[in-house]
Amino acid sequence: MTHDRVPHHRTQLLDDLRRACAGRHTLLVGAAIGTGLAARAAARGGADFLLALAAGRFRTMGASSIATMLALRDSNAFVADFACSEIVDATPIPVFFGACAWGLAEEEFSPLMERLRGWGFAGVVNFPTVSHVDGRFREALERTGLGFAREVRLLEAARAAGLATVGYFRRREEALALARAGVDVYCFNIGWNAGGAVGVPSGESVLQVGNRARGHIKAIRTADPGALCVIEGGPITTPQEMHEACREARADGYIGGSTIDRLPSESSMEEMTAAFKLVSTLQRRIDRLERRLDQTGQGMGLVGRTDALVEARARLEHLGADGGPVWVAGPDGSGRSLVATLLHGRGPQRQRPPMTVDARHLDGGWLFGAEPADGGRRRLGWVEAANGTTLVIENAEGLAPGTQAELAAFLERGSFRRQGGQDSLRSNARIILIGTAGLEAAAGAGTLVPDLARRLARRDIDLPPLSERLDDIPLLVEHFAAALRPSAGPVRLSPRAFRLLIAHDWPGNLRELRAVVEQALDGSGDVIEAEALPALDGKRTGRPRPDAPGDRSPKQSERDWILDGLRRHRFRRGETARFLGLSRKTLYNKMRHYGLLE
């Protein structure tokens, strides 16, 4: 067997794993597989390393992983046959060889390691392992020299040959033996995986095994500070259970065997076969998915499945129809103007278009009007002009305290006086205030006077930043793509593009994501690949693009940001608005405000 694959340097490989593990919200994921198809799929899904194990091959043959403990094959020859022909060259991801210590004389350990290096393997893992054996039989294996110490010597030979090592263990003394041997990655194997048709039931909960693993990992890190520790097996059958177990164990990651190949394959093939057999069953599933679409907010445009978005939609439905005041809070670009529009559209005065003003340019005279002084002209205020419709006040924290007090009185009585006037006037204008901080936070910080905060109590809608609802990104991409290309079919993200997007902080929130989607759609089909994404955080994610999204620099004023966008697009407002992620009307209003219309 000959391979052109560039060998992985052990030190560089371990540095890469530590960097991956140190990333934000990142756990290492190893995939223990037995076919080239599974290797490629795991690599596309973002696996950090692969383990070619006899158990993986047995699973594809319909047997349980536990079959590897029986003398059914020459394990090392069995693994070498499928791993060299299907896995090693399938992806650039490092592959660990599942080496059996039982079928070799100890003097054959070193020659085996040299062959593995020549075949392109990055490391070795002790599998199958006597860790899965207990009782009197285990005692007999240890007495005859076929116990765990033999596996430790196998891993020592691998390390001496320059290969990285993963050490499976189940007992604390096994973990400490691995530490003395200088193993690179420690894997606490909880036991054979539960679930599916041939799984082995587990008598422990996910939290129980996580707690048990934590004791072993603590002992390892006492003996080997900075050790990489992962877990595998037992009752863990879903990504959520993996996260809970790793968090409880303080583990650096997880190795998935049955959970990555057998369980998804069983489920998918069973469902697909049933769908072909009973097409009506498939149609009912499609109908259910279509009914669930409304639960994502696609119908109203406030898209997302995260708890915060579900709560925001529920409050919008609750507050929309009564015509009362509402405080809408969230960072710039989070969808506050959309919520204000939806509130207006559900209110009793939706026949007239809403009016929008910026609180930073309002005083009492502009908001409530002013009587003439010394023969001057009467000034009509926004509240009076908005009679019969909705008045949206942006940057509401910028209202002067006196103006806030007048607004609170108007919301209480429905009447007001013009500045300098004596007559009590009425207006049924609905007031929607848009701010950055939540209602309680704004009141606590003193940016809202107590009277106004009390009048708005329990009449607020909070929108989170996009960085706190990363799970909604695929839905939002599909939503924006449908709006930008209404005649095209559904658009989805590739797994790698999704990983790049969730690693970004999104300072511009939905506005920034929409601009990214617009640029990524240029020349894309029904899948947005990572190479189609523009630069994020100033770093190029894929193919070069002529210009970056119209994100505003932290040190750049809004006027300069808009002017830069206009100059880039030769003052063509439509192109500039799309580049900046603004509507044409909003761009026009901002140009007028900053004196850019001349």
Tens place of pLDDT per residue across the chain (598 aa):
545 555 568 888 988 888 887 765 578 999 888 888 888 888 888 889 999 998 888 887 777 777 777 777 788 999 999 999 999 988 889 999 999 998 788 999 999 999 999 999 999 999 999 988 888 988 888 888 889 999 999 999 999 999 999 999 999 999 999 999 999 999 999 888 765 444 455 567 888 888 889 999 999 999 998 899 999 988 887 888 888 889 899 999 999 877 777 666 656 665 656 656 656 555 666 655 654 555 666 667 799 988 889 899 999 999 999 999 999 999 999 999 999 999 999 999 899 999 999 998 776 678 999 888 776 788 889 999 999 999 999 999 999 999 999 999 999 999 999 988 888 999 999 999 999 999 999 999 999 999 999 999 999 999 999 999 988 999 999 999 988 888 877 888 888 888 889 889 899 999 999 999 988 887 667 888 888 888 886 554 444 343 444 555 555 677 888 888 887 777 788 888 878 877 777 888 888 888 887 5
Query: Residue 363 contacts by C-beta under 8 Å, 6 or more apart in sequence?
Result: 400, 403
436, 282 Cβ separation under 8 angstroms: no
Query: Residue 338 contacts by C-beta under 8 Å, 6 or more apart in sequence?
Result: 301, 302
Alpha helix stretches (DSSP H) within 194-261:
206-223, 239-249
- Give pLDDT, residue 547: 43
d(CA 57, CA 52): 8
Here the tokens at position 500 are 């790049």
3-state secondary structure of 431: strand
Give Cα 259 to chain centroid, integer Å.
Answer: 20
Here the tokens at position 481 are 């793509």
- Give pLDDT, residue 91: 87
pLDDT, one tens digit per residue, over 543-597 is 434 344 455 555 567 788 888 888 777 778 888 887 887 777 788 888 888 888 7
- Give pLDDT, residue 409: 95
Q: Which helix (H) or strand (E) holds 393?
A: strand 390-394
Main-chain phi, psi angles of 357, to 5 degrees: -135, 160
d(CA 422, CA 354): 28
Q: What is this structure's pTM? A: 0.53
190, 233 Cβ separation under 8 angstroms: yes
d(CA 68, CA 439): 61
- Give pLDDT, residue 549: 47
Here the tokens at position 49 are 């390393």
Q: Which residues are bridge partners to 357 per DSSP?
A: 393
d(CA 242, CA 517): 31
- Give pLDDT, residue 548: 45
- Give pLDDT, residue 71: 74
391, 362 Cβ separation under 8 angstroms: no
Query: Residue 426 contacts by C-beta under 8 Å, 6 or more apart in sequence?
Result: 414, 415
| Whole-number Cα distances in Å, 580 to 214, 584, 594 | 49, 10, 16
* Letter string b/e over residues 477-506, b meaning 16 or more CB atoms within 10 A of that residue's CB: bbbbbeeeeeeeeebebbebbbebbbebeb
d(CA 156, CA 179): 11
d(CA 359, CA 495): 43
d(CA 151, CA 124): 11
Query: Residue 23 contacts by C-beta under 8 Å, 6 or more apart in sequence?
Result: 503
Three-state secondary structure string covering 311-366: HHHHHHHHHHCCCCCEEEECCCCCCHHHHHHHHHHHCCCCCCCCEEEEHHHCCHHH
372, 332 Cβ separation under 8 angstroms: no
Helix, strand, coil percentages (3-state) for the chain, rounded to 5, are 50, 10, 40
